[in-house]
Every structure is written in C-alpha cells, then in structure tokens.
Structure 1
Amino acid sequence: MTQIKGIHHVSAITANAAKNLHFYTEILGMRLVKKTVNQDSVSMYHLFYADERGRPGTDFTFFEIPNAGQTYRGSGSISRTGLRVASDQAVDYWYKRLSSYNVNVSQPETVYGRCQLAFEDFEGQRIQLISDQTNSGDPGGIPWSESPVPQEFGITGLGPVRLTVKQIAKTAELLTETLGFVKTGSYEENGRTVEVFSCGNGGAGAEIHLEPSPQEQTEKPGRGSVHHVALRVEDEQSLRHWIDVIDKRGFSHSGFVERYYFKSLYFRDPNGILFELATDGPGFETDESFDELGKNLALPPFLEPRRKEIENNLAPLSFS
C-alpha cells in the first residue's frame, strides 16, 4: 500500500499557452484533459496533456508564465522527460512526423535496450520518445481515439525522467534509502555514466535516470524547463504515510496539499530537485465527463467563487 508506484506527472514551464496547446495536441497528439489554473497563482494557466482520460502516469503539465525568460541549462535540473510509445515502429513514425513539422529531432537510436529518439519543443523543452516494445512493468495508457496521430502510434504515457545533478550519491540515497527505489542498471551517454533507479513494478514508467552534471552552474529555469516531477502513491492513507517518512528523514516539505484532482506532498532533494508525491485519484473526471475533458476552464470548488475574476485575468485559449 505504501510503495511508490512510478511517475505520476511532470510539470514544466511555457511562456505561451496557445503555442503550447498547439504543439502538444496538434503535433504530439496528446489530449488536453484539464484546462485549469495554477492553484497557488491563479493568474496563470495550468494545462494537463495526457492519454485519453488522464490516467496517473500519463500527464505532462505546463504552467504558463508569459514573462518567463530563457532557460540557462545546468545542474540541479529535471533535464529530460520521457514519453512512451507502443513500438519501435512508432518511434520511426515519430521521427518522420516531427521532421515534417521542422521540430529539432535526433535520429532514432537504441539506448539501454530501448529504441528512442530525442527532440525539443518550440521552447527547448527536452523530451525523449521511448519504445515500449521490449519494456516490462506497468502498461502505458490509451491514446485518445480522436487525436490527429493514429492511435497505434500515440503517446501512451510518461517514461523515464532524467535528473542532472552534481552530487549523484545524495539523490541516489534519497531514492533508495527513503523512497524505496532500487538501482537496476546504467548506461553510457556522451562519456558519462547514467544510473537507472526503478520503483513499483519497474519498467519505463517507473524509472528515474541520474546523470552527473557536466556543468558547475546550477540551472536557471525559464520557458522550456521542468518545474517538478511527481511520483505516484495509491491514496491519501499512503500519502500520509510518506509525509511521516519524509518528515522523520529531516526534509523540509509542504505537508499535505489538497489539489482536488489528487492530493500531494512537495519536498526538495539535496541537489535542489523538486519532488511531489501525488495520489492516483480521484482523477480528472471528478468535475467533467469523459467527453468534456479539457474543453472548458475547470476550477476546484475552493476557487469556484472567484471564477469571474480568474477568467477576466486569463487570455482566451481555444483549439486552432
């Protein structure tokens, strides 16, 4: 019951919600399953892209910060987000598709026994598509049938998340000694050894990859950077167990946070990485039907009395 199950979601920063919406729905073919606001700063959009219904482990989310500056890459960063697809054939499809849209994409290659390709979105967000053809562990989600991408090639969820840190041993200790991850392998990339840590049932959807930073400076985040990575826990009871664990280990943390669609805890590791633990439920159909997901501005009950004020402070956002 108290086991960390895998990656829950990844939250990043965009300076342009309209272009972001176009890229992730029209080019990547993900479904916008929730159009809401940052609950801690309600003047900014918070957009959730996922599989057909936003299953845990499929959400790539973005905060819109219109004045966000350039990201200056460095250590202490969530430096790459993995997105899973069903097969090696799907990776080949994506190389051709992304190239046709003039996306900055690399040739497919095999790394750690998996076919994959790296690319960046229009703001330099670093992403890696990873084939599940040889994957074990929990299956991915189900791509939306109304996506512009054929369902058999669609993105099924989040894959490994890469952290680039100066002091790998300290983050590795957090993962193994506190969160229950196990080191399951390593591979070489650009002359550096990347260590692989797994939790839950393992596989691409339950991996953190640790890369030693080639840079001394800490990353200065901006548009195209990742804000935090969230890990899956079963329910509120399990989350409260982890709050107690994190507290006893001496980490400064947020305490219990009610996010309405899930419940959360936030804390930073010794390298400055912001982690969240998030419950699998209740999910995005709490306030919208399956067919209506993402079509309207959704607000949790505690923000509903401020709807008019919030809507007046947001630029209209709709599908092209």
Structure 2
Amino acid sequence: MELRGLHHVSAITAKAGNNFEFYTKVLGMRLIKKTVNQDDTNVYHLFYGDHIGSPGTELTFFEIPHAARTHEGNNSISEISLRVSSDDALAFWEKRFVEYGVEHEGVTTRFQRRVLPFKDPEGQRLVLISDQENKGVQGGIPWEGSPVPQEYFILGLGPVKLTVPNIGPTEEVLTELLGFRKSGTYPSSISGQNPIVVYETGEGGTGTEIHIEERTDIPRERLGRGGVHHVAFRVDDEGELRKWIEKINESSFVNSGYVDRFYFRSLYFREPNGILFELATDGPGFAVDETEQHLGENLALPPFLESKRKEIESKLKPLNTKSTY
C-alpha cells in the first residue's frame, strides 16, 4: 500500500459568497461542487479544483457563519500551497495580485523552487509554487471557463505545511504508519528556528509533500475563519482504503472508521500533535451526480440527504454559482 499524494485540503470560511468570488474570479479556480457539510447540513461545503475536480486539485471550504478569525499558532495546518506551471506564471500572478489588491509577499525560493506567498481576504495562508523544476505526480487539467489564461491556471495542491511543538511524533506517523519518505530540509523564515523538514509519498514532487515546521515559541492555534480543518491523502480505491483502516486500527489510533462521502470514501484520525488527517479514495469523483459541463452550478446532495433537500435549502443563504465566463 502506498499513498499517492495529497487528495484535498479543507479550510474554513465565514462567508461562502465572498469565498466563491475570490477563489473563482480572482484565483480562477473552478467550483466543482456546491454541497453542504454532511456533519452540519445548515452550512455550505464548497469544493474548488481543476476542470473536473481531479484528486490532488481540491481545495474545499466549510462555511461557518460568524466564525472568529484564526489565531495562528502551533498544532496546526499552517499553510497551503497551490501549484502553477512555471516561474513565468508567478510573474503573472504577482501582477494580478497587485491589480486585485491581494495581500502578498515577493517571489522567493524555498526548497529550490520559486514561490509566491499570499493571503485570501480572510487571512488564509497560501503560497503559489512553481512546477518548473518539479519531478513527480502530475498536476491537474486547466479549466477553459477560467478568467485566468490556461498557461497560468492553478493546477492543484502543492506542499502542505504543518506547525507543531514536537516534530518527532508527527514524523513517526508520516514515515512509520503512512509510508512517507523524508526528502530534505530548508531554512525557516523565523530566526533561531530549526529547518523545515520535507516529506513525500508516492511518485514524489510538489503534489505529494508535507512540510513540518517545529516551533516551541508560540501558543496552540485557535481555529476559525482563515484556518485549515484537515488535510487528506490519496488512496487508490475502496479496497485499499479498507486495508488502511485495518492498519490504523492495529496502530491503536482512535479513528472514524469507514465513512462514505459519496464523492469519495474516507477514514479520519488525529496524529499525536492533534492535526486531523484523512485518507480518501480517488473515486467515484464529482461527475457522479452532475454533468462535467455544469459542475458546481446547483446544490448537490448525496443520496442519503436528498429526502431532506427542501429543509436543507430553506436554511441556506442563496449562492449564485452559475458561470458567467
């Protein structure tokens, strides 16, 4: 068994409408599914990705209205990377961020790759990373309906950074339980801190990496809007997921067991520093209940919630997601 890389990352927004505007109209990603949080159907769960929502391209948001801002700190998923094709793409994005008033830093280098750190309007910590020198798992498929030229389109998830007070237990879970490999280090941007450690799985490369930052000088994060709920890793299919469930049960980690999310099947557990990991299957995918042409335009509900559609829709604030491009 081998995890194939990153599957999706799920974060928190307080305003689904504003979130949709930024991620589709400024970042040019495609809304591939407008659905609800299956554990709290009173709020939206929005999925963004490539043309078809390929595994490894999905950035998702739970809406929690009136959520307080995240107080950044330890025991957290502290940064999300998004892949673009080249260093030239970063130059395009830097100009676009100036045009749209997006908070950002200058282009710099991390782990021999060019990157452009920025934040969304709620303070979500994001980084565009160039795949120009990338070797490993391929990125996604550009969406023809994007307002961003296809050569600069966001191709999927890049490295996800974890910040923890003690790297040892998290490293042990990644390498001994989940089969990640340590592939290098790079300097922290914080003076006096240990280097950030890079781990990869599967084919390797930007779409498979977890970066861990060890910090003993900051408090535990208080999660809210602009924070990250969990990170999910790719599993081939349901048969392999069930093998992973057996392995994690044998490890004595408390876990969710098998969970049917309709668009994929999952398992959830927390590693020793409290960060929520998910293992998720590549399929069935997001075209299982909508045509590829019209993904994300209407409220999609899995079959086990369909009987409650009228009740669910009555509690949601209308969100117009029909493409205007």
TM range (shorter): over 0.9
Code of the aligned partner of 1:106: E
Q: Distance in 1 between matches of 2:175 and 2:109?
A: 27
Alignment of 1:263-302 (within 5 A): 263-302=265-304
Alignment of 1:242-281 (within 5 A): 242-281=244-283
Alignment of 1:122-271 (within 5 A): 122-190=121-189, 191=191, 192=193, 193-271=195-273
What is the TM-score when the length of structure 1 is the normalising length? 0.98
Q: Distance in 2 between matches of 1:235 and 1:109?
A: 38
Structure 1: runs of 5+ lacking an equivalent: none
Code of the aligned partner of 1:105: H
Q: Distance in 1 between matches of 2:167 and 2:243?
A: 26
Q: Distance in 1 between matches of 2:271 and 2:217?
A: 19
CA displacement 1:221-256 (0-9 Å, x = unmatched): 000000000000000011011111111111000000
Deviation at 1:208, TM superposition (A): 0.2
Q: Distance in 2 between matches of 1:17 and 1:215?
A: 34
Q: Distance in 1 between matches of 2:268 and 2:72?
A: 23
Q: Find the residue that maps to 1:189 and give its secondary structure.
A: coil
Q: Distance in 1 between matches of 2:183 and 2:222?
A: 31
Code of the aligned partner of 2:123: G
Q: Distance in 2 between matches of 1:136 and 1:256?
A: 33
What is the TM-score when the length of structure 2 is the normalising length? 0.97
Query: Do the aligned partners of 1:74 and 1:215 also contact (CA within 8 Å) in 2?
Result: no
CA displacement 1:103-128 (0-9 Å, x = unmatched): 11000011111111100000000000
> Structure 1 vs Structure 2: percent identity of aligned residues?
57
Q: Distance in 2 between matches of 1:271 and 1:95?
A: 35
Q: Distance in 1 between matches of 2:308 and 2:90?
A: 44
Q: Find the residue that maps to 1:229 and give its secondary structure.
A: strand
Which residue of the partner structure matches residue 9 of structure 1? 8
Q: Distance in 2 between matches of 1:110 and 1:73?
A: 23
Structure 2: runs of 5+ lacking an equivalent: none
Deviation at 1:214, TM superposition (A): 4.7
Deviation at 1:217, TM superposition (A): 1.4
Alignment of 1:85-100 (within 5 A): 85-100=84-99
Q: Distance in 1 between matches of 2:217 and 2:275?
A: 16
Q: Distance in 1 between matches of 2:217 and 2:254?
A: 26
Q: Distance in 1 between matches of 2:22 and 2:242?
A: 37
RMSD: 0.8
Which residue of the partner structure matches residue 104 of structure 1? 103
Which residue of the partner structure matches residue 43 of structure 1? 42
Q: Distance in 2 between matches of 1:10 and 1:181?
A: 18
Q: Find the residue that maps to 2:128 and give its secondary structure.
A: strand
